[in-house]
């Protein structure tokens, strides 16, 4: 048993896995996220609403994506973030209520990604005038 392994289901209550977990995986705190999402040092967390909500639903925490801004007028897209790390979505509070992210009817939940501060600015600017697309990268 690894040092720090969780020994009771109650220890994982309210937490979300940060990566896909195989069956019978021994849980340790580093595999779970609780509270406010955070990224690796030097990154910030950006909420990204992708053009296709079905794609957003397929992105698992721990996946790396390039975020591309596709302009309505066509042409080549602009890569606004490279190897953005998909983070776990916040765990909703019991009974609903106000959470970390605002709700809306515009096509699914946003994806949380860890990016550089400069990429976060580019993502915000692009989201005002372009459709954002995620491309899974190694």
pLDDT value for 114 = 96
Question: Which letter does DSSP use for residue 93 in this model?
Answer: P
Positions in the chain short of pLDDT 70? 35, 90-108
Q: Which domain holds residue 70?
A: 44-90+107-137
- 120 domain residue, yes or no: yes
CA distance 130 to 81: 14
pLDDT tens for each residue of 98-114: 444 444 445 567 999 99
Which pLDDT does position 39 carry in this prediction?
86
pLDDT at 90: 66
Position 84 scores a pLDDT of: 98
In a domain, 85, yes or no: yes
| 37 part of a folded domain | no
Structural domain contains residue 18: no
> How far is residue 96's CA from residue 28's CA, in Å, rounded to a whole number?
27
Q: How far apart (Å, rounded) are the C-alpha atoms in residues 4 and 70?
A: 45
Give how many domains the chain has, as a whole number.
1
């Amino acid at each position: 048993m690894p040092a720090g392994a969780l020994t009771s289901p109650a220890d994982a209550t309210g937490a979300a896995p940060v990566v896909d977990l195989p069956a019978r995986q021994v849980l340790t705190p580093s595999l779970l996220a609780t509270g406010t999402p955070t990224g690796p040092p030097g990154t910030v967390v950006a909420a990204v609403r992708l053009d296709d909500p079905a794609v957003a639903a397929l992105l698992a925490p721990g996946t790396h994506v390039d975020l591309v801004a596709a302009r309505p007028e066509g042409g080549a897209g602009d890569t606004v973030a490279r190897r953005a790390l998909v983070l776990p979505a916040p765990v909703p509070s019991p009974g609903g209520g106000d959470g970390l992210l605002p709700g809306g009817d515009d096509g699914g939940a946003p994806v949380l990604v860890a990016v550089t501060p400069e990429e976060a600015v580019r993502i915000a600017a692009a989201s005002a005038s372009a459709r954002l697309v995620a491309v899974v990268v190694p």
